[in-house]
Structure 1
Amino acid sequence: MTNDYPKIWFLRHGQTEWNREFRLQGQLDSPLTQQGQAEAARQAKIMPEILAQNPAIYASPLGRVRQTAQIALGDVPRQEDARLMEIHAGKWQGMTRTEILADRPEWAAQSPTPLEIYEAADGGEGLAAFHARIVDFLNDLSGPSVIVAHGLLGQVLRAEVCGLSTSQAGSLSNLQGCVYLLEYGQETVLEAPE
């Protein structure tokens, strides 16, 4: 069953230094790489037609999203909302995936998704609380909206809008440099022309 949310355009931030190192960022931060800046520039090519529709614009307050939003949206006013921050990864924030998997040898054969890793993080936020704050944000939307935020937040948000369970969220794509259009419980990936 899909939920009756307004039209949403979702942008994930561009690649960061820590993304490239497979280091868990959570609510810590690292700057965009050159590739990440290029991904945000690709999003900027998609946005004029969307922005012409005067949607509300919301963004996570974390630096990597601010940097992406500045490139992708320019000086268009936006409202920062702490509910759009990435899931908190507790003591694992700043650690690499390799370091975490070394601590959890039973995961080697399981190939957990990033969302499953964050869910298990020692002292982390947990998926239930993460999902609850995303739903709280979504329930406050009153019309078409652009959201600039994070990968795992995007997976859970997109799953919610499309009527999927949180356990299915980790299998959704997690692309950078595109815009996810969410409408009528369906998802379409918008990409800039080459």
Structure 2
Amino acid sequence: MRLYLMRHGETDWNKEGRIQGSADIKLNQNGIDLAYKTLEGIEKAGIKFDYIYSSPYIRALKTAQILSKGSVPIETDQRIREMDFGKYEGIELAQIATKPEYKNMHRFFVEPDAFVPEEGMESYEEAFQRIDAFYQEKIAQDMERYEHVLIVCHGAIIRSFIAYLCHKSIGDLWNLKQPNCALNIFEITKEQVDLIEMAKIVYDKSLLPNRKYT
């Protein structure tokens, strides 16, 4: 099976550099355009998805719907939703990096091994547990049914997914750049998992925002 992990298109909170997490923010116009441009690039590459899994959050689901063109089945799954950042959702990343009261949340990005989830937040371990459950129930069972499967979800959960599949440590996560609509491509068999390409951009790279933690 060829497995594709894709981050959703851009939202206003992405553009403003705000933490989204469980906040259900819709795509902005640029995010919609990126999804359509990505679809064009995928079609030019001759890739045809057999099945799509999407986070239930609207920014991911809308991206998945654009890529499906109404002809590829889409299944939403709560286990691939973005991580929950509790009281920090909506706060600008620039503030996270500079204000002492946000020191623990800053650790999430720069020192994830030292991050301690506060009330209402999710730990990396919890995220890995739901990724594992999703993978074993869905992807492992899809190998003989589908050749090309797309998962549309979110920045933090994609990084966690890559770490899970490639056996990377939590400390490596934020070295993995994940721009909006970037594709991570895996070849998966029952015996092994191979990362073919990471954060592949199939649309015009001049459209890429230059923002921290992308």
Distance in 1 between the 2:185 and 2:117 partners?
A: 30
Where does the alignment leave 5 or more consecutive residues of structure 2 unmatched? 188-192, 205-214
Map of 1:18 onto structure 2: 13
Note the alpha carbon deviations across 1:72-106, whole angstroms, 9 max, x for none: 22212210000010000011122222343424375
Percent sequence identity is 26
Give the alignment's TM-score, normalised by structure 1: 0.82
Distance in 2 between the 1:95 and 1:193 partners?
A: 29
1:39 paired with 2:34, answer yes
Structure-2 change in CA distance of 1:121 and 1:34 (3 Å): farther
Q: How does 1:1-194 map to 2 (within 5 A)?
A: 6-48=1-43, 49-51=46-48, 54=50, 56-75=51-70, 76-101=72-97, 102-104=99-101, 113=109, 116=112, 119-123=115-119, 124-140=121-137, 141=139, 142=141, 143=143, 144-183=148-187, 184-189=193-198, 190-192=200-202
Deviant stretches of 4+, over 4 Å: none
Report the secondary structure of 1:137's partner residue: helix
Report the secondary structure of 1:113's partner residue: helix
Following TM superposition, by how much is the alpha carbon of 1:164 offset from its aligned partner in structure 2, in angstroms? 1.2
Report the secondary structure of 2:151's partner residue: strand
Where does the alignment leave 5 or more consecutive residues of structure 1 unmatched? 1-5
Tell whether the 8 Å contact from 2:5 to 2:150 is kept in structure 1 after alignment: yes
Distance in 1 between the 2:195 and 2:13 partners?
A: 31
Paired residue type of 1:138: Y
Map of 1:3 onto structure 2: none
Give the alignment's TM-score, normalised by structure 2: 0.75
After superposition, the CA RMSD in angstroms is 2.6
Paired residue type of 1:161: L
